[in-house]
Chain A
Amino acid sequence: MLKSQRSVGIVGYGAYIPRYRLPAREIVRVWEGGVGGVPIQEKSVPGLDEDTITISIEAARNAMLRAQIDPQQIRAVWVGSESHPYAVKPSSTIVAEAIGAAPFIQGGDWEFACKAGTEAIQAGLGFVGSGMADYVMAIGADTAQGRPGDALEYTAAAGGAAFVLGPAEEGVAVVEASLSYVTDTPDFWRRQGASYPSHGQRFTGEPAYFHHITSAAKKLMAEMGTSAADYRFAVFHQPNVKFPQRVAAMLGFTKEQYETGLLSGTIGNTYSGSSIIGLTAILDVAKPGDRIFSVSFGSGAGSDAFSLQVTERLPERQKLAPSTQTYIRRRKEIDYALYSRYRGKLLLA
């Protein structure tokens, strides 16, 4: 169990979800002749001028609005993603400049498939918890790539969430403890230079998603002496709607506990943003004293589990930035043709 000597909290949080939505039925229409079921209702699609950096900037600005601190007090800006715009040149430096945190900071980009953002959060817990820094900005964001016609094209979406970590006594939520579970499990990957990821079909389920999330979750609850009943909310990585519902049931969580953070039906799988955008939606409505259980999953594979408790400071910070549901409501439906243009799937030369 990861627990720092100095207690750490979430001082500010923020989300961003692009405006465009591709209904899953559009993919059925184009690739399946209009016949077949869909794993979600619709997914978010980034605009022509959006990428992981612009998504991170807006999520980070929202987190700063809620944190109410001088950006020059931040000592690290870390961006977790599997779709950094540059292969070589950090996203974090651009984000740090855009929020006014540069130059006396750690800056770096993290990659661990869909759990790169929670890995950055855990590093931030250590950085603040050790006393080396008072504030860290940890971000998870993606513009996920979906191979045309592949099963993952239904869900590969875009969005991100950002968290300012700081001393627990300033937190809107205290991080009670965290834990990671990591193995070499080749369920999903993208080779250097490849445009689209590959995956192991059904192998992505039991040995990957379910094994890692349940292993991390059970171990953390066992070491903390808690059970599902101790939490008001729970949120899990959400590559579709069924997986998080099933893993929640396996761990003893009910619909009332997971429905607030389960957003994949209307925004898709935002990869590094997935579980943590769900967490922001929970923080938008949670009340002091509520406990939140959160588990990410990244292919390759691993899970990061967190136990949080909301403080008296949350209600006054909730309205200082746009809610996650505000971004979900702001939707412009597009068809597969516009989606193809927006995602660069049309080769012009």
Chain B
Amino acid sequence: MHIAQNWRLKAQRYRLVGEVCEHCGAKIFPPRDICPNCSHSAKESFEFSGRGEVYSFSALSETAEKFQRFRPYTMALVKLEEGPLVTAQLTDVEPDKVKIGMPVEMVTRRLMEEGNEGIILYGYKFRPMLDKVA
């Protein structure tokens, strides 16, 4: 696991901090310093609400080695309220309960860990919107 690389990404991983374009107002995630909408410079930080809906998804039972302990789980494209599509793991939901259009919200969870002695990586996942399930 690349400690420095993950450390640099902590704001976007922990809090969904992206950018907003000062020229066209587009909200950008992940941050990339250039607006994908108008191609101008975009470096102003913007913290997303974390609310969105499932745009598309795929249930995984065979996974990369580092995610084996979570299987089976669902990967989704989540359409954030502010516009961008984010690829993320869904949590607190069984794969057969996921539907396109399902309202979801961001939570910060364990993404992976380096065995019993290495770093634990935390970051965003999405779960069914709490007020819709309880």
Binding site for B on A (CB under 8 A): 19, 47-51, 53-54, 57-58, 85-86, 94, 97-100, 322, 326-327, 329-330
Contact of A97 among B10, B107, B120 (CB under 8 A): B10
Residues in A whose Cβ lies below 8 Å from that of B10:
97
The answer to whether A48 and B69 have CB atoms under 8 Å apart is yes
Residues in B whose Cβ lies below 8 Å from that of A326:
130-131, 134
A326 to B130 CA separation, bound complex (whole angstroms):
8
The answer to whether B109 and A54 have CB atoms under 8 Å apart is yes
The answer to whether A330 and B134 have CB atoms under 8 Å apart is yes
Contact of B122 among A19, A94, A330 (CB under 8 A): A94
The prevalent SS among residues of B at the interface is mixed
Residues in B whose Cβ lies below 8 Å from that of A97:
10-11, 14-15
Give residues 1-54 of B contacting A (CB, 8 Å): 10-11, 14-15, 47
A58 to B91 CA separation, bound complex (whole angstroms):
14
A-B contact pairs, 6 of them (CB 8 A): A49-B111, A50-B110, A54-B108, A322-B134, A327-B134, A330-B130
Chain A proximity mask over B68-86: 1 for CB below 8 Å, otherwise 0: 0110000000000000000
Binding site for A on B (CB under 8 A): 10-11, 14-15, 47, 69-70, 91-92, 107-111, 120, 122, 125, 130-131, 133-134
Closest to A50 in B: B109
The answer to whether A48 and B70 have CB atoms under 8 Å apart is yes
Closest to B10 in A: A97
Known contacts A19-B92, A85-B120, A100-B47; is-contact A51 B108 (Cβ 8 Å): no
Contact of A49 among B109, B130, B133 (CB under 8 A): B109
Write the nearest CB–CB distance from B90 to chain A, whole angstroms. 11
Residues in B whose Cβ lies below 8 Å from that of A99:
15
A100 to B17 CA separation, bound complex (whole angstroms):
10
A53 to B120 CA separation, bound complex (whole angstroms):
11
Contact of B91 among A47, A51, A53, A86 (CB under 8 A): A47
The answer to whether B70 and A49 have CB atoms under 8 Å apart is yes
Write the nearest CB–CB distance from B68 to chain A, whole angstroms. 10
The answer to whether A322 and B130 have CB atoms under 8 Å apart is yes
Residues in B whose Cβ lies below 8 Å from that of A322:
130-131, 134
The answer to whether B70 and A57 have CB atoms under 8 Å apart is no
The answer to whether B134 and A329 have CB atoms under 8 Å apart is yes
Closest to B89 in A: A49
Residues in A whose Cβ lies below 8 Å from that of B133:
330
Write the nearest CB–CB distance from A289 to chain B, whole angstroms. 29
The answer to whether A54 and B107 have CB atoms under 8 Å apart is yes
A19 to B107 CA separation, bound complex (whole angstroms):
13
Write the nearest CB–CB distance from A47 to chain B, whole angstroms. 6
A173 to B92 CA separation, bound complex (whole angstroms):
33
Residues in A whose Cβ lies below 8 Å from that of B108:
54, 57-58, 98
The answer to whether B120 and A86 have CB atoms under 8 Å apart is yes
Contact of A100 among B15, B107, B111, B122 (CB under 8 A): B15
Closest to B112 in A: A49
Write the nearest CB–CB distance from B54 to chain A, whole angstroms. 18
